[in-house]
Structure 1
Amino acid sequence: MPTIDVFTHVLPRAYERALERSQANLGARHPSVRENLLTDMDMRLVANPPRSLQIVGSVIFDEQIREKYRAEVAQTANQELSQLVLDHPELFEGAIAHLPLNDLEFSCHYLADTIARSDTLVGIQMLTHEDGRNFADEQNSALFSMLNEVRRPVWLHPVAEHSSPHFLESARQQLLATVRDLMDLRWAASYPRVRVILHGGVAALFAQGEVSAEATRLAAQQNFVVDTAWANSLEITTAVKTLGAGRVLFSSDSPFATETGVESLDVAQHALEQVKAAHIDEQEKQLVLSGSWEHMRARIPVNVLSEQDLYEEEKAQAKAEKAKKEAEEDEKLQAEIDAEQKKNADRDDSNGLSASF
């Protein structure tokens, strides 16, 4: 059974184009986007450990994109991710769609109409906060309810620049704060069918092998799981002993290196070695490396439509909507013509009546 790396990054062209249009000096503000592995799939295949498949998500810079364009950019980027999975089955297990927090109406419809029917989009990626608005905000309840209905897992990603020397601490504090907010909202009880994957959760909740207060609260909430991005073997050991291997997923966060001396080409292999070095038994290691994800994916409802079927349905729906709109316009025009004719007829009748007197 291949290793499943449940979160790695790419940079879809949709985001590149949108950021170019915004004239944001992205390379200076976010040096990590210069990484070639984000766009070069041949190089990525070389860097990927043998017998390993990746689940891939976009590098997200929504706050650099005007709010009115975010839904359009996310939709285009998600389509690119789906195509990557179809084009590179030797590399990708699936893709994680992104939904913008600033447009909940779009996000709910897209989740129900597209993601829930996709063969390639295995879940969604949400940021811990966006434009000052937290994921754990009661205003997002409509989205949470839709997630509960379609039963797609959510990867919760902290907002931090990977190249910053303070990245790990910033990401850790964001995840801990979000966990506290979700616990206070009794989120797990309200949305029991949603699996929330805390990206970097092992490193955040079990830093230096210590069990945080947030981890203790989380232990009883079975629909919260953690991945191993940025974690060392001690932290992975503690996470498995506390939560159980079935709630720990392997992630390299490739191609971003957070440890000094680890090159981007070696990130995935380095992360894999941390799991292998953890003081857990072989069965637990297999669960972390693949089994936990396989069990989670088995709970995702069987897709209703294939990607091609979905494309054809969207075309048919667009055609039907166009025909409906044209029919409504024709009906409106005919009503105006009928009204004008009736008005003229009434005037003629009135004139004829006047003449008879």
Structure 2
Amino acid sequence: MDLKLDIFAHVLPTGLLNSVQEKVPNIIEEMQFLKIPALTDLKIRRNDFPTDVKQIISNVNLNPEDYFDPMQAAELCQSGNEELLEMATKNEDIFAGAVAMLPMNNIPKSLEIIDQQVLANDKFIGVQLFTRAIGKSIADVDFEPIFMKLAEANLPILLHPVFDTTKRDNNVTFSWEYELTQAMNQIVKAGYFEKYPNLKIIVHHAGAMVPYFSQRIKYTMTSQEYQDFKKFYVDTAILGNSKALELAIDFFGTEHMIFGTDAPFAVIPNGTTKEIVTAINEMNVSVQVKKDIFSNNLLKLIR
């Protein structure tokens, strides 16, 4: 039985949640997805957990910089990372590692966290960044030192969507895919793949709109930008859909697709792992490519 490594699975560190609730008592009512019990209750998480899967865990969309000043945000990220590390260490039968969080309103402390927490423990395989932070694009020049640092450290970035709060029509079904696509475009336009050749970015939701509009990219952008889009890695978290996964792999390449499920979201209590495994198995690709998607591509990417 070959082990499958799930690069994008979420949890919610309870210490972080409690700290945010002290300042924003109604945070769970404001962010309904925080109510999913399997984010915090690992007994539920273990219910019907597939025996051939281990998850790389990352914090759900609850970012300290949205609620706290730079020093407090840094402290909460550090303690939240310790919680993630403890969860991964104590539950090695279902978790293979973790992805660290960074305080995006405190870049010096973010760089320290990469040195002192992420690089210091091999259970951290990289960091999670979001498409926007403190009202800015993730490709804003203020955040560039993080991209530089992670490229130098040979650590992957997991790129996760968040809403652009200036828009009135945000919705989970479509908005996040647009935000991911825009962030990819902004990263390409910033020239980061030329500046930092070792940069590795894993994009959630199979690269969002890019595979479908790849020819528009080819004919409306420069050849260098078109090639830069191909440098992203993508996960398989689109709730199934073999044909869409095939389209993504056609554009990004067989070595750039990595198994990811977005667990425990979409299907209560534990997400759509079974549906996504089935979709990958039904893809019109070789057995070896499927094995690469399930584990080998990630193992080549991380330390």
Confirm or deny a common fold (TM above 0.5).
Answer: yes
What residue is the counterpart of 2:251 in the other structure?
A: 242
Within 5 A, what are the aligned runs for 1:56-67?
A: 56-62=57-63, 64-67=66-69
Write the mapping of 1:5-154 to structure 2, written as runs, cut at 5 A: 5-62=6-63, 64-68=66-70, 69-154=72-157
- Equivalent pairs: percent with the same residue? 24
Shift of the alpha carbon at 1:214? 4.7
Cα deviation, residue 189, structure 1:
1.0
- The CA deviation at 1:23 is 2.5
Q: Does the 8 A contact of 1:229 with 1:253 survive in 2?
A: yes
2:100 touches 2:124 (CA, 8 Å); kept in 1? yes
Name which one, 1 or 2, has greater alpha-carbon Rg. Answer: 1
Partner of 2:222: none
- The offset of 1:222, in angstroms, is 5.9
Equivalent position SS for 1:113:
helix
User: Matched residues in 2 for 1:86 and 1:196: separation?
Assistant: 25
CA displacement at 1:235 relative to structure 2 = 1.1
* Per-residue CA distance 1:155-203 (angstroms, 9 max, x = gap): 0110149xx9921311111111111111111110111112111112334
- Point out the structure with the larger helix share: 1
Give the whole-Å Cα distance in 2 for the aligned partners of 1:277 and 1:67.
48
Aligned equivalent of 1:193, options 190, 198, 206 = 198
Match of 2:189 among 161, 184, 190: 184
Using the alignment, how far apart are the partners of 2:61 and 2:16 within structure 1? 8
Say yes or no: does 1:227 pair with 2:235: yes
In 2, Cα distance between equivalents of 1:24 and 1:119: 35
C-alpha distance in 2 between matches for 1:47 and 1:203: 29
Unaligned runs of 5+ in 2: 220-224
C-alpha displacement of 1:14: 2.4
| Structure 1 residues not aligned, in runs of 5+ | 301-357
| Alignment partners' CA distance in 1, 2:30 and 2:251 | 38
Structure-2 separation of matches of 1:281 and 1:21:
52
**3-state SS of 1:229 partner:** coil
Q: What is the distance in 2 between the residues matched to 1:170 and 1:126?
A: 17
Q: Deviations over 1:114-141 (max 9, x none)?
A: 2112121110001111121111012222
SS of equivalent residue, structure 1 residue 206 = coil
Please show how residues 252-263 of structure 1 align to structure 2 within 5 Å. 252-257=261-266, 262-263=267-268
SS in 2 for 1:155: strand
**3-state SS of the aligned residue for 1:114?**
helix
Cα 1:215–1:139, aligned 2, differ >3 Å: closer, same or farther?
farther
Write the deviation string for residues 26-76 of structure 1: whole angstroms up to 9, x where unpaired.
222111111111011122122432211100001132265223321111111
2:272 alignment partner AA: V
The 1:202/1:178 distance shift into structure 2, 3 A limit, reads: closer
CA distance in 2, matches of 1:155, 1:243: 16
Moved more, 179-188 or 62-71: 62-71
Secondary structure in structure 1 of the residue aligned to 2:50: coil
The AA in structure 2 aligned to 1:246 is: E
Which one-letter code corresponds to 1:41 in the other structure? Answer: L
Distance 1:131 1:39, change over 3 A: same
Which letter does structure 2 place at the counterpart of 1:288?
Answer: I
Structure 1 residues 215, 227: closer, same or farther in 2, change over 3 A?
farther
SS of 1:263's partner is coil
Q: What is the distance in 2 between the residues matched to 1:61 and 1:152?
A: 22
3-state secondary structure, aligned to 1:123: strand
| Cα displacement string for residues 84-120 of structure 1 (whole angstroms, at most 9, x for unaligned residues) | 1110111111100011211101001111222112121
TM-score (norm 1): 0.76
How far did residue 264 of structure 1 move?
3.3
> Structure 1 residue 221: deviation in Å?
5.3
Alignment length, in residue pairs?
A: 290
Distance 2:218 2:7 in 1: 21
- Distance in 1 between residues matched to 2:211 and 2:255, nearest whole Å: 16
> Which structure would you say has the larger RCO, counting Cα contacts within 8 Å and 6 or more residues apart?
2
Shift in CA distance, 200/67, structure 1 to aligned 2, threshold 3 Å: farther
